[in-house]
Structure formats: C-alpha cells, structure tokens
C-alpha cells in the first residue's frame, strides 16, 4: 500500500566539521556495464538517484567518521562542491548529518477505502488451480445486498470523511454480471459524489466476455481492468480453459487488444507456477509488444521449482533490459509480486487498515481468499451497529505479524513481508528471491533513467 512520508531537509549551515552519514536502508550499487551507479534509500519513497562516477565515489567514501573537511581532502574535491552534492542527497535522505533518518509510519486514519467485491461465484472457465472454494456454489450478488452495500458506503464516507472509494469487482467472472453492475455503478457514483467522495471501479476478469455495451460503459465511467493471463497460446490454454475444454487465449488476446484500441486502462496479472514458468520469457515479449502494464506474482500455497523460477525470471528481465534500450517504460509497465520499490509501504495491501473483502451475501472478510473459510473472522454489511471502517478493524490486522529478520531487513518497506495470509514463520516464502531481484529491479530502473538522460542530451 502506497505511503506518504515527510521529506525533511536538514536545517543546518554546512560546516566543515559536519560528519555525513549514509541511510541505514541505503542501497548503493554500480549500474552494470556502465560508468554510472545508483543510490536509493529503501525507507524513503521516490528517493532513487542515478549517479555519475564521481558522485558514486563520494557516497562510497562516506564512513561516518570523516567530516566534510576530511572527505574533501581524501577525494581531492572542492569543499563547496562536496557540500552542494551532499545537500541534494540529504533532501531524499540518502545521507544526513545526524542520526534522525525517517521511517514510514502507519497513518492515523485512512483517507481512502479499497474493497474487493465478490460479485458472483459463477465462472465460465474451469482453471485447475482456482483458489475460490465457493466457486459455482451460488449466483450473483442480489439487488438487496447491493442496496445495503451502497447505503453502508454512504454512511461510512459521511462519518469518516473518506475522499475516495475503490471497488475491485471480482468473482467468479464479474463480467457475467455486467448488466446488474451497469445499473449499480452510476447510482453509486452519484450517491457518493453527493457526500464528496469519488468512486473508482475496476473489473478483475478473465476477459473472455466483452462487447460494445461493456466498452462504451467503461469509457463513460472510467472503468479499469485487471486481466488474468497465464502465458501465450498453449501455455495459457493449458490452465485457463472453458468448461468445454477449449483454451481461452485467442478470445482473451482479441479482447485485450480491443480494450487497448479503445484506450481503456488495463493491466495483466500473471500468477507464476510450475505449470507456466517456462513460458514466462515468451509472455514477457508479448506484453512488452502490446505495451500493457503487467505484474508477475508467484503462486501462493504451493511449492514452485526455485531453480527454474529464477532462471526464467532472469531471462525475462534480460528481455525487459533490451526493451528499455528501445524506449519501453519499465518502471511504469512492470511490477513484481507485491514489491513497491519506489512507493514503498507500511503494509502489503489495504486489508486490515483501509480495505477488506465483501462476499455475494454481504459477509465481510479480511481477505477474499478467506471466502468459504468459516474459521476466519466474519462480519456483515447488514450489521447496523458497525460502519465499514469498524468492520475493517474487527477483521483483524495481520500485517505486523512479521519475523525479527523482516523487522530488521533493509528491504522491509519494499516487500512488507508479503501477503500476511501466506507468510511462513512471519515472512514471505520468496524472501531469498526478493533479495536477488530487488537490486535487479533498481538496476533496470537505472538503465531506464540513463536512456532518458541520453535522449535528452544530458549525458
């Protein structure tokens, strides 16, 4: 979940006796194959900086013992030049001249709310790995439940002074329920607008259903799409089949291109498992060619071949590196798992703080993966004594259930220990993989910045 953090510029007069200190969460590396480097404070959002060789050398030379005068002598650098550079680095807390480095903190209250809405248990695909235990056990959300949902939203927004609410309409296949949500969404936008709140809506879909009515409605009401895709052609068809047994890739590919042609915001999410990891490089080429944002997530709740996973990820990131040199916007187009390398976070998702999951019958859970799990804490939007924020709080907040290793890790605000539902011994099962790929992510971001600087004639 993105965070806001105060960027405090040290208020001091630069003096030769000041001792610069590097941020405890600083990652300082050379950009491979270049004369440049990068620095990023992994506890300060958007602190990533590309450095020339001299600037890299300055940060590398800081040992928390030498003052400015000493560093200036060791580096054979004019004191004014050194001071000016370190003053710039202090703005994003790459360095400071005291020990008061800021850390992200949980806000006192939520300014926006985010809900996963389980619109239906019905689905037209029969994916072998589907985690939804209630699949095809009921139909869509009734008008009664939707009316109560809107009433509870308005009540909560007014009481809590919420400025934005986001719905992720999921299932099952939510577009099978489009006609009923076509009525609800405009009503909800108007009702929430009257109390000063904006409603954002996204369909989380297999994208096998799409027609002109859906396209025009999506453009009119700024609907966005998250599309599930397992691979290209046969790889996708192996796991995401219609109930007849036929593969769905050709339909999804056609509909994805329609959304793009109509300039409707869409992103692709791929859950990487043993069944599709060999197809990851081909999928990477396909998604880059479409210039669509995409996210690779690693399957949860089951084992994956770690060696093959790493080798296919390395190959995929090599493809991304090549694409960066042609102008592809890496940092705007790709996300790996729940990592937040630039925005950072105080928790992995909205659950337990500013969000939750609402089932077709109006029951309220901490997370949508708990639908059908009677052991998980449950509330209901029909509870007249609680508003939605109360329900979020009562669903429990498991985000702080982290291992001691996680609490001390340099990357703890980048990965936030992964999904709390699937942590093992208080950490994400892919922890060791993240330690390899977070620096690689910054490497590619560095190459992207260098390409931009070169194109502008700045280097």
Sheet holding 49-51, edge to edge: 26-30, 37-41, 49-51
User: Residue 314: pLDDT above 80?
Assistant: yes
User: Residue 298: pLDDT above 60?
Assistant: yes
DSSP assignment, residue 395? T
Q: Which helix (H) or strand (E) holds 65?
A: none
User: Residue 195: pLDDT above 90?
Assistant: yes
pLDDT (tens digit, 9 = 90+) per residue, 241-281? 998 899 999 999 999 999 999 999 999 999 999 999 999 99
Mean pLDDT value across residues 165-190: 96
How far apart are alpha carbons 172 and 204 in whole angstroms? 9
Mean pLDDT value across residues 434-449: 98
3-state SS assignment for residue 240: coil
pLDDT band at 110 (very low <50, low <70, confident <90, very high): very high
Residues 6+ apart with CB under 8 A from 26: 39, 40, 41, 42, 59, 94
Question: How high is the pLDDT of residue 302?
Answer: 87
User: Residue 101: pLDDT above 50?
Assistant: yes
How far apart are alpha carbons 48 and 26 in whole angstroms? 10
User: Residue 338: pLDDT above 90?
Assistant: yes
How far apart are alpha carbons 452 and 82 in whole angstroms? 26
Question: How high is the pLDDT of residue 372?
Answer: 82
User: Residue 5: pLDDT above 60?
Assistant: no
DSSP assignment, residue 374? T
Burial, 317: exposed, middle or buried (Cβ in 10 Å; 0-12, 13-18, 19+)?
buried
Q: How many CB atoms lie within 10 A of CB 230?
A: 25
Question: How high is the pLDDT of residue 15?
Answer: 62
49, HSE (Cβ side, Cα atoms, 13 Å): 23
pLDDT (tens digit, 9 = 90+) per residue, 427-441? 999 999 999 999 999
User: What's the mean pLDDT when you consider all of the chain?
Assistant: 92
Mean pLDDT value across residues 52-67: 96
* Model pTM score: 0.92
Q: At what angle do helices 68-75 and 79-91 cross, to 10 degrees?
A: 120
Contact (CB, 8 A) for 418 and 430: yes
Q: Which helix (H) or strand (E) holds 21?
A: strand 21-22
How far apart are alpha carbons 393 and 251 in whole angstroms? 41
Question: Alpha helix (H) ranges present in 325-403?
Answer: 330-333, 388-394
Q: How many CB atoms lie within 10 A of CB 45?
A: 20
Question: How high is the pLDDT of residue 136?
Answer: 59
User: Residue 12: pLDDT above 60?
Assistant: no
User: Residues of 319-343 as b/e, b for ≥16 C-beta within 10 angstroms?
Assistant: bbbebbeeebebbebbbbbbbbbbe
Most confident of 126-135, 290-299, 340-349: 290-299
Question: How high is the pLDDT of residue 133?
Answer: 62
User: Residue 2: pLDDT above 60?
Assistant: no
Q: Dihedral, CA atoms, 61, 67, 69, 75, nearest 10 degrees?
A: 0
Question: How high is the pLDDT of residue 377?
Answer: 76
Mean pLDDT value across residues 52-72: 96
Q: Which residue has the tokens 């607008």?
A: 193
Taking Cα atoms as reference points, which of 235, 335, 240 lies closest to residue 276? 235
Question: Alpha helix (H) ranges present in 327-418?
Answer: 330-333, 388-394, 404-408, 412-415
Mean pLDDT value across residues 338-362: 93
Question: How high is the pLDDT of residue 124?
Answer: 86
């Amino acid at each position: 979940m993105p965070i806001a953090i105060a960027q405090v510029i040290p208020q001091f007069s630069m003096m030769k006796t000041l001792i610069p200190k590097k941020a405890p969460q600083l990652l300082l590396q050379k950009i491979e194959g270049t004369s440049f480097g990068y620095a990023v404070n992994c506890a300060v959002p958007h602190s990533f900086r590309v450095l020339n060789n001299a600037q890299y050398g300055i940060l590398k030379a800081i040992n928390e013992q030498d003052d400015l005068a000493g560093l200036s002598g060791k580096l054979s650098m004019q004191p004014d030049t050194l001071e000016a550079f370190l003053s710039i680095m202090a703005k994003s807390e790459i360095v400071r001249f005291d020990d008061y480095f800021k850390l992200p903190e949980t806000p006192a209250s939520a300014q926006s709310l985010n809900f996963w809405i389980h619109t239906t248990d019905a689905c037209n695909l029969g994916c072998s790995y589907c985690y939804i235990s209630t699949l095809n056990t009921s139909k869509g959300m009734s008008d009664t439940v939707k009316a109560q949902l809107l009433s509870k939203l308005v009540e909560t927004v007014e009481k809590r002074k919420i400025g934005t609410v986001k719905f992720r309409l999921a299932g099952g296949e939510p577009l099978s329920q489009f006609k009923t949500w076509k009525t609800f969404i405009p009503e909800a936008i108007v009702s929430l607008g009257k109390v000063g709140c904006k409603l954002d809506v996204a369909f989380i879909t297999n994208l096998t259903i799409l027609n002109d009515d859906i396209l025009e409605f999506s453009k009119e009401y700024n609907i966005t799409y998250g599309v599930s895709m397992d691979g290209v052609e046969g790889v996708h068809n192996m796991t995401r089949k219609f109930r007849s047994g036929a593969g769905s890739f050709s339909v999804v590919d056609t509909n994805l291109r329609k959304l793009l042609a109509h300039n409707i915001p869409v992103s692709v999410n791929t859950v990487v498992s043993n069944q599709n990891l060999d197809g990851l490089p081909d999928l990477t080429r396909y998604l880059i060619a479409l210039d669509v944002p995409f996210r690779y997530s690693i399957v949860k709740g089951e084992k994956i071949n770690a060696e093959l996973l790493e080798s296919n990820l390395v190959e995929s990131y090599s493809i991304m590196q090549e694409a960066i040199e042609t102008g592809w916007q890496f940092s705007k187009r790709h996300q790996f798992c729940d990592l937040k390398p630039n925005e950072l976070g105080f928790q992995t998702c909205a659950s337990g703080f500013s969000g939750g999951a609402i089932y077709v019958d109006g029951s309220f859970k901490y997370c949508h993966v708990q639908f059908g799990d009677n052991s998980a804490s449950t509330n209901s939007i029909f509870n007249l004594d609680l508003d939605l924020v109360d329900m979020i709080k009562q669903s429990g907040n498991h985000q702080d259930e982290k291992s001691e290793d996680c609490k001390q890790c340099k990357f703890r605000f980048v990965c936030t220990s992964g999904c709390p539902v699937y942590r093992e011994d208080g950490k994400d099962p892919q922890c060791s993989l993240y330690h390899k790929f977070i620096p690689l992510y910054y490497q590619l971001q560095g190459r992207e910045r260098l390409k931009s600087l070169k194109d502008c004639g700045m280097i």
